[in-house]
Amino acid sequence: MILPIRTFGDPVLRHKGARIDKITSAIQKLIEDLFETMYAAAGVGLAAQQVGQELQLAVIDVRAVKDRPSTLELEGKPADVHSFMPLVLINPEIRPSGEPSTGPEGCLSFPEIYADITRPESVEVTALNGNGERIGFKAGGLLSRAIQHEVDHLNGILFIDRMSTVDKKSLKAELESLQETTRVDLKKSG
Ligand code: ZN
């Protein structure tokens, strides 16, 4: 089922997700819906908060992006990114590392808004997958960026928080207008 994506101005995007203790059938259904919603919106990642659920759960799939490479290491050895996708991250813990890397970023909760964001190049991840099994890996490139962006969502952090002051200033009108539209829509529906 495709779920409505919450947009900037919706308070749920600022809420930290609760840890998931058990992969119930409701969680499995939510994972399915997150993927369906993300693919329909042509995104590379989607966090539970973006569909109104305050949980430590995000989904990622970078396969559709051809022009921005990703790297993956499993047990210290280079591994195939595509066969590791799609990726479910439950209760993820990350350790970013490497040099700061700047690249374009967007967010499905901020339609039509893009900016360059600087984040560490690599990230070490431990999490549970969709079957509740513990996974550990190291990612670089787009995959690292997507993981850091999604884990931010799980902690109520948005990419505008990591924008340069100059970019944020130049996007001020668009951000305020989006926030206002979201508030009006929330009022109508609630
Ligand atoms: Zn996002």
Closest CA to 145 of 66, 69, 53: 69
Indicate whether 31 belongs to any domain.
Answer: yes
Q: Which residues of the chain are modeled with pLDDT < 70? A: none
pLDDT in tens, 33-81: 999 999 999 999 999 999 999 999 999 999 999 999 999 999 999 999 9
The alpha carbon of 73 and the centre of ligand 1 are apart by a number of angstroms equal to: 24
As annotated, the active-site residues are: 150
CA of 105 to the centre of ligand 1 (A): 9
Range of the domain at 67: 11-189
Question: Which of 109, 114, 146 lies closest to 3, judged by CA?
Answer: 109
> Which has the closest alpha carbon to 160: 121, 112, 107?
107
Distance 97 CA to ligand 1 centre (A): 21
- The domain tally of the chain equals 1
**Residue 6 domain-assigned (yes or no):** no
Residues having C-beta closer than 5 Å to ion ligand 1:
107
- d(CA 178, CA 111) in angstroms, rounded, equals 9
> CATH number for the domain including 49?
3.90.45.10
Question: Would you say residue 70 lies in a domain?
Answer: yes
Please report whether residue 3 resides in a domain: no
- pTM listed for this prediction: 0.97
Distance 67 CA to ligand 1 centre (A): 20
Q: What is the largest CA-CA distance in the chain?
A: 52
